[in-house]
Structure formats: structure tokens, C-alpha cells
Amino acid sequence: MKVGYVALIGRPNVGKSTLLNTLLGQKVAIISDKPQTTRISLLGIKTTEKGQIIFIDNPGIHKPLHTLNKRMMSFVHSALQTSDLICLLIDATQPFGHGDEFVIETLKKVTTPLFLLINKVDIVKKDRILLIIDKYKDLLSFKEIIPVSALKGTNLDVLEKQIYEYLPEAEKLYDDETVSDQSLRFMLAEIIREKLLKRVEKELPFVTAVLVEKIEERAAGEKATAPWDITEKSEKPREFISSSGLSSLSPESVRPSVPKMDISGDKKQTRKLTYVSATIIVERDNHRKIVIGRHGQVIKEIGIDARREIEQLIDSKVFLDLTVKVRERWRDSPEVLDLIEGQK
């Protein structure tokens, strides 16, 4: 058996998380066209007859300004140290710039075997790929240079074959069924954040975070306590996240997704119902207003979208209770960052 860690490394937005999902054939990481979507490294595990490849998806390499970003970069550095092979991804559609130089400088310090993956070849011309190869081939010593499309799956069979050439002989580290190291709680938080990123203004991606506070399962026939009645609801997060309240909104507008409890058929009667409550953290009151939208329209859409995906993931009807809170400068608050990371 060949078993080892493969770090997916590159600037924000080059397609690392997309590549991970396509390689695994299922979604384990959220995707967005906004930079800095991935904040915490996560594992995607692919087991085949040949062995087990443990991919490490990482935040994009960038110069850190906030404590959040410093932590993001520390994930990158530990992935670089842990891995048996590093795949540097670049975006074929983007010109070479300072950000790329910074990545090259970061990788000059490591001695781990390195592949260059030129991504997004589905939307560039062939001669552009040749120019990129020419530019990169002497910048670092690459074992392989492979043009790929993470989105379309182009050349990923070649990539996988080449990866196995560089992995050590070892025993499997995970069960065959395991595909990721994330908790359900973290996955739900990430799904909500992905839907949030889809809808909010350009500058917001950096200033939002999601904390899932409660996941509670019930048989659909069981008399349900509405989540807003749950007395022990308040856990740690609420103690210090300054409450800015949602008093101006009617309950409907902040509880976007109340599934109808249809208990007519036998099958439906036994179908689970899961309550999920989550807090979206933003930095300012005007951010909060953007996330909520006019008459609560934006948060309602985020909720519907997230609920649908969560329902598929956990095969249960879902009641999603979303709240938006302002926590100034949370990106520099170790306690908030601990909570967010603690979900994983």
C-alpha cells in the first residue's frame, strides 16, 4: 500500500478546494469565487486499491494582516511540513504577480517533492499553458508539471497516478469509508458560510464567520420544542458575542426555513427532523444589515439554500435557525477564532 499526505497549496482562488472535491467525487470543502474562502486546513481522504492519498486542502498563501490570517498561514506552514508531496496550484487565467512571487519564496524553503498543477485549462488557450510552463519550470524544481481542470476533471487521472509514485509504502491511516476529518458541526457551518459568500457584497467575505451552536435530532412525529424556546440554548458563544439583536425583524424573516411537518404517511412519520441553530458573525452593524437584507430577504435566501444542502447531507428534514451578530474586530479575537476552529 502507498499511503501519504499531499498538500494542496497556492494563492487564494486558484481552485484548491474545487480540486479536492473533484478528486474525491464528493463535496467536502466549500467553494467560492471570493478569495480566502478556506480558513482552516482540512483533510480529504481518497482510498483506492493502490493505497490512500490524504489530501490537505489549505487556505491560500497570502500576507497575513489579521490574527485570523496569521492562523490561516500557520495551517499552510504545518501542511507544508506534514506532507509527503506538495501540489502547487496556479490559475492559468491570471497573470504572474507579486502574490505568485510570495508563494515561490515560501516554497523555496521546503525540500518536499513538488508538483506544479496549472489549473483552469478549460478556459485558456494551449499556447498560454506553454508560456506558463516556460515561466515556471526554472523557478522551483518541479517533479511534474501537469495542466489540469479541477472543475472538469481534466488530467486528474494522470495526477493521481503520478502522486502514487511519490508516496511511501505504509499502512492505511483511515478506514476506507472516511473521506474527511471534519465534524458535522463544522461542515454545516461551512455550508452556511458558502451560501453567505454567494450573496454578500464584495468586501464582506473577510468579515463573516459562522458558528453552529446546536444540532438537535428528533423523530418528525415527536412534539417539537421550537428552538427559540430552548432554555439551555445559550452556550459559550453568546456570552461574549455582543448581541446586536434582530428586534426590528419579525420572527419569520430570521427563521427562513421552517419545514412543514407532514406526518401523513408512515415513511414520513419516521423521517428525522433536525434543528440547526447558527450565528453569523460580522464586524459592523452595516454588515449585519447587508447580511439580513431588505425585509430579511438576503438571510432568508441564505437559509433556504443552506437548508437544502444540509438536508441532502444528513438525509433529514432540517429547521435552520440563523441569527446575525456583530462582534467588532472578531478577526483579531483569539476567543472567537478558537470557537470557530473548535467546531472542526
Interface residues with ligand GDP (CB under 6 A) are 10, 12-18, 31-33, 37-38, 60, 119-120, 122-123, 149-151
Length of the chain: 344
With binding defined as CB under 5 A, does residue 83 bind Mg ion?
no
Applying CB under 5 A, the site for Mg ion has a residue count of: 4
Q: Which is nearer to ligand GDP, 150 or 189 (CB)?
A: 150
CB of 223 to Mg ion, least distance (A): 42
Residue 258 CB, nearest approach to ligand GDP (Å)? 31
When CB distances are held under 5 to 8 angstroms depending on the partner's kind, the choice from ligand GDP, Mg ion, none that residue 182 binds is none
Q: Give me the 35-64 binding string for Mg ion, x by CB under 5 A, dash otherwise.
A: --xx--------------------------
Q: Residue 83 binds what, of Mg ion, ligand GDP, none (CB under 5 to 8 Å, by partner type)?
A: none
Residue 150 binding result from Mg ion, ligand GDP, none, given CB thresholds of 5 to 8 Å by partner type: ligand GDP
- 32 binding partner (options ligand GDP, Mg ion, none; Cβ < 5 to 8 Å by kind): ligand GDP
* 17, 47, 149, 257: residue in contact with Mg ion (rule CB under 5 A): 17
> Are the beta carbons of 67 and 334 closer than 8 angstroms?
yes
CB of 237 to Mg ion, least distance (A): 24
Closest approach, Cβ 89 to ligand GDP, in A, equals 7
CB of 293 to ligand GDP, least distance (A): 23
Residues near Mg ion, by CB under 5 A: 16-17, 37-38
